[in-house]
Amino acid sequence: MIASSRPIPREPKDADGHVAGSDRPTAAPPFDIHVLAGGSREASDDADAPESDRPTVVPPFDPEAFAQDSEIRQRVSLPLAEETTIDKARRLLQGGDAEQALFLVERLLEQIPLDTDARTLANECRAALEREYLAVIGSAATVFIVDVTPNELKTMALDHVSGFLLTLTDGVTNVETLLDLCGLPQLVALRHLRDLVRQGIIVDEGRA
């Protein structure tokens, strides 16, 4: 047989001298069961990591939603923070300021005359004021006399209610009778009598 003169084609070799696609060893990628299961090593590592080491995902900020939520919270919290007139009056009464407490309750009753809580509290305020006034006056049986001269009275800036009560203070009439004669609301008359006692204008006839 005559040998063929055609040159035998040489297969291309790479830089390492290996024939391309023939005897180069195939490098298998590392096997990862998490990848096979559809997950990722990074996801698994994050899941197994301590809570403090996990990356914090910041949600997107929505200014409109934030403003709406803030407004709702404010509407809910404001009524809880406000003090009602009844609560304020009760607090004043417990603190010893029955006059101011009664003032607030009476203003409330002008707007809501049938408010039973306000009426009950008003009666409590009146009872407390009566005890307070009588503690200064003495008692309903006390008889007063005027302890200043007419000229001294002229120098005193007395209101018309106090002046009227002085005309009934004769050294004979007791407080209970005086309250009946003057025709004034009892607390009004007692308050003015208390003020007259505090100023030293009238004194208990039995102690004079």
Q: What is the pLDDT of residues 102-126, one digit of tens each?
A: 999 999 999 999 999 999 999 999 9
Judge whether 125 lies within some domain: yes
Judge whether 25 lies within some domain: no
Pair (113, 143) in one structural domain: no
pLDDT value for 162: 95
Pair (151, 108) in one structural domain: no
Residue 95 DSSP class: T
Q: How many domains does the chain contain in total? A: 2
Judge whether 49 lies within some domain: no
Judge whether 187 lies within some domain: yes
pLDDT value for 205: 83
Judge whether 192 lies within some domain: yes
pLDDT value for 78: 43
Judge whether 23 lies within some domain: no
> Of the candidates 92, 154, 84, which has an alpha carbon nearest to the alpha carbon of residue 112?
84
- State both tokens at 168: 């009934």
Q: What residue numbers bound the domain in which 113 lies? A: 82-134
Pair (145, 186) in one structural domain: yes
In the predicted model, residues of the chain with pLDDT beneath 70 are: 1-59, 61-81, 208
Pair (198, 182) in one structural domain: yes
pLDDT value for 55: 64
Judge whether 34 lies within some domain: no
pLDDT value for 77: 43
Tell me which of 105, 134, 163 is where a domain ends. Answer: 134
Pair (110, 147) in one structural domain: no
Tell me which of 134, 154, 170 is where a domain ends. Answer: 134
pLDDT value for 138: 92
Instruction: Please give the C-alpha separations between residue 44 and each of 12, 32, 113, 145, 175, in angstroms, as whole numbers.
Output: 44, 11, 71, 98, 92
> Of the candidates 43, 17, 21, which has an alpha carbon nearest to the alpha carbon of residue 32?
43
Pair (123, 87) in one structural domain: yes
